[in-house]
Structure 1
Amino acid sequence: MSLRLRLLLLIGVSLSLLWGAVTAWTLHDLNRQLSRTLDQRLAMSAQMVAGLMAQLPSPRAGALPSFPDIHAGIACQIVSVRGEVLLRTPGAPKVAASRPPLGYADQVIDGVHWRSYTTEANGLRVTTADRLTERDALLANVRWAAAVPFFAALAGSLITLWFGVRRGLLPLERLRQSLSRRAPDALEPVDARHLPGDLQPLAASLNALLEKMGQALSRERRLTSDAAHELRTPLTAIKTHLQVARITQGRDAKIALEHAEEGADRLQNTLSQLLTLARVEGEFDWEDGHPALAGEVVSLAARDAAPRQPDRIAIGPLPQTPLALPQALAVTALRNLLDNALRYSPAGSQVRLSVWRDGACLHFEVADQGPGLSAEAMAQATQRFWRGSQSAAGGSGLGLAIAAAIAERFGGRLTLRAGEGGGLRAILALPARD
């Protein structure tokens, strides 16, 4: 259902119910007031006739002159206390035998419904009456006369509502047409200068979404370009070494095959890192139901980073604090930091790993004894495929980027600082559970 139709139905039904309720209440009150007025006319007519009769000498049957209707549509009859009809207007019902009660009464006489009023004065019973059919006809005419303006006003309101809704939704329709005419790769902001104030938040949210989409597309294009460049190098090296192995024999062929295998391992590592980064930055659900403890994370990360030289990682005291993120991601982030520190540290040197709790986060600090980074290089180190001037062989340039992406996804952060005695300190802050 379109927004225009929804607005028309909502406002139209509400307006119809409101007008209908007002019309019903007005007609009901009009019917009650008119019925009261007609009853008062009967009473006033009867009292007027009784007053006139009081000024005449003692009446007797047939001695009173007949006179026409005292009011149009009202019948009158005068009866003595002995039941003699002294006077009856033409068309009046014969109510002598029924002797209606004093006051108002509804009667059926000779198949005709009457509304009567009876009063007694000076030994005379005066009854005035009118036909209910005539009264109902009068009430129906009055009701129609009162209801027609209401229905006309309702119809006019609905027509005005139709044009008003169409006119009010024109800015939204123009915005829709503007977006439908755009090319798929057009991500420039929407011009919101001429939009009404109610649509300004929508335009602002749409522009923010377009900006995010532009950033995401730019990031993906950069990733694709960088990945193509990074994958081209090991593929070219593998192809070259295989060609050398094909045209040589003996030791040279063996060395070429070993180099091709190293290139394949590097390519596999780069692809694995790219897949991990894509999953971390995407909408992948990492909830595996396994709580991550600081001790287990450190143990698994150190084992994966230095499986053959575990003594190269000096680990300080470990608090048994649970982390507010899946264990697999915490291990991946810390392993990348340890692997990076081991790769850039001199052979045989140690990498220090310290863990402490500060506020809502658990901090993992990895300090190496490598050449370190300048302040400008630290600002660029977490970018994809970034490598410094003293980059180590075998690195893909994605380790720090993956660690930073994991930390940011769960509300943590990765901070790089210069070591006091040289080297680099990488501090990974991950959210902890109470």
Structure 2
Amino acid sequence: MTDVSTQFELMVISGSASLQETLATLDSVALISVPTTARALSLLDGDWLPGAVYVEDTLRGTLDDVWAIVRAAMRRQVRVVVNLQGRGAGRASEFQAAGATVIDARTPDAVADQVSKALGTRRRAHSEAIMVAVTAVKGGVGKTLLTAMLAEGLRQRGVSVLVIDNDISNSGIRPTFRIPSTAPTYTGLLGDGLGMAAWTPERLRSCIYQHRESGLDFLLGPEEMVEAIHDLDSKNFYAFLHAVRQLSGYQVLLFDTSPEIVRRPAPYIVGREGGWLVLPAPPSRKERTGVLNLLRALRHNPGDDLTGRTLLVGMEPERGVVSSLSTALPLFAREAPSARLLGTLVHDPRTVSLADAGEQGYRSPLTVVPHGRFARSVHDIVDALAHEIGLTTPLAKPRSTLLDRLFRARPVAPAGVAMDGRKVAA
């Protein structure tokens, strides 16, 4: 039997590119990806032998093909791990009797954990950071504003946050935080011609932009519309995600994702990998329909219902809008009973625009009116988020006394801006 305590080769017979990228996190293991059972049988009958074989019963073909691989490997004294999650699930005892190690994992992370245990190796450790992806299927619903306020609110609670700009076709993070065009981009690593080998913790760390005004760190997408060479498909995002999770020093990894989730399914991947999904939920008809469609898609996600890891934030409508959250929220609850409501983000365009109006760089809306309704709603949502995801914050929620609300809730305009938002001469 091959000694797996040193460098060895693992033959992987799977059609899942994301699984192969996850298995690449195993220490002292070189992956040999084999696309078909016929090719695997040919290799097992040849002169070269792998240290171990991973095969699953979700491959095209029959269960007899899986049996053929197991028998060929055992005949050559090669260790075999069989993942039974489909048509072979009821025959685990037969595979075990043949000498194979049987697992029943569905997500790539779970597979890697069980394969690692079966082979006596280790995975390169992920950080303990909690992943949170803010997502929507429609632009203009407040997704980037919500991402920014969650990041700011967590930072004010003493939490170290890495903000990942994953809306790479139309980034709102850069203009929101007034990040200069000279800031590095992680998508630029794809232009080096390294393919998925570009995604290493060391290379990503060189791309982190430290935002002095907010105290937040960022991994930024491109400032302009992304070129095809710099896009992240599922395979690349899995590799990128695993490299990000090896970055130390952060308690929360906060993703601002693209509404094009069919083309860029980052929210699904973050959810499958144990992260949390936060959905801005406006009540108006078009936006409400988008939320319902997304909840439905998350509920019917292949393998796992992701609504149990989904958190809603009600978005207070503008004045004059007849649709109300009191009408919309029961619809969301009926579609996804497992999803939870974090609270309601107050609609306060005046505070947001005042923060954006100054000439002296970025200013947080939370500091413009620190005791106003908007800031209080953000802190309440952050408090609920921390509770739901099991995050202990070093600092308590900022307090607003009745005196604060009555006499200290007046906006403090930035230099060069009048209280109505007009720019004035110095």
TM-score category of the 2 structures, normalised to the smaller one:
under 0.3
Would you tell me which structure has more helix in proportion to its own residues?
1
TM-score by length of 1: 0.19
Larger radius of gyration: 1
Q: Which has the higher contact order (CA 8 A, sep 6+)?
A: 2
